Amino acid sequence: MQSCFVYSSPIGNLVPVHDGQKLVRIFLPGGEHWELPYPCESVCSPMQQQITGWLDKYFSGGQPAIWALPLPLQGTAFQNVVWNILTQIPYGKVVSYGAVAQAVARQLRKPVISARAVGNAVGTNPVPIVIPCHRVVGVKGDLTGFSAGLQNKIRLLRCEGISLSSAGKVPAGYFTDLNR
């Protein structure tokens, strides 16, 4: 049985959903609209404590390990490859959709993968923040695409100490190489 709880964060109320064993989904403010089919917990379960501890550490400037939470990653084979690559983006750094596409192509031993296909997979990430899809930007630092809205993407990047240029772009100094 899945259940949820409300977590008050600097970007607004998040609603993590879990099944008692693993984190299943995180709904962000401004994201897709939903009617929760799960009961929100009134008692703090061990799984809720684990998720809350992880989020507390993240929002206080810590760098919690992504895999410190049990995650399902139940997508297509392609989505799982993309999401696993996103877990390699260090805290406080960004990569472009094109760089993720190149990393996916290398892993799948394909000559090329479309950045648009990667963008679609990034947009279906069920556990944003934990799998850091907010760290993926346009090749020139443009803030493109985020299922919970660009304002939340900006807030999350700022939580990680990333400053935007006066043009609203991520400066080159924050980019990292996925080939390392």
Q: What pLDDT does 2 receive? A: 84
Q: How confident is the model at residue 36 (pLDDT cuts 50, 70, 90)?
A: low
Q: How confident is the model at residue 147 (pLDDT cuts 50, 70, 90)?
A: confident
Q: Where in the chain is the domain with CATH 1.10.10.10?
A: 77-174
Q: What pLDDT does 3 receive? A: 87
Active site residue 133: yes
Q: What pLDDT does 33 receive? A: 52
CATH of domain 3-68: 3.30.160.70
Q: What is the mean pLDDT of residues 87-102?
A: 96
State the chain's mean pLDDT as an integer: 90
Q: How confident is the model at residue 146 (pLDDT cuts 50, 70, 90)?
A: confident
Taking CA atoms, 167 is separated from 53, 113, 120, 149, 170, in Å, by 35, 29, 26, 18, 9
Tell which residue, 21, 76, 74, 79, has the closest CA to residue 50: 21
Topology given in CATH for the domain delimited by 77-174: Arc Repressor Mutant, subunit A (1.10.10)
CA distance 126 to 128: 6
Across 129-149, b (16+ Cβ under 10 Å) vs e yields bbbbbbbbbbeebebebbbbe
CA distance 159 to 92: 9
Q: Where in the chain is the domain with CATH 3.30.160.70?
A: 3-68
Cβ proximity of 100 and 82 under 8 Å: yes
Q: What pLDDT does 138 receive? A: 93
* Helix axes 77-86 and 115-123, enclosed angle (nearest 10): 90
Catalytic residue among 4, 44, 133, 159: 133
pTM recorded for the entire structure? 0.91
Residue 46 predicted with pLDDT over 80 = yes
H/E run at residue 35: none
Residue 37 predicted with pLDDT over 70 = no
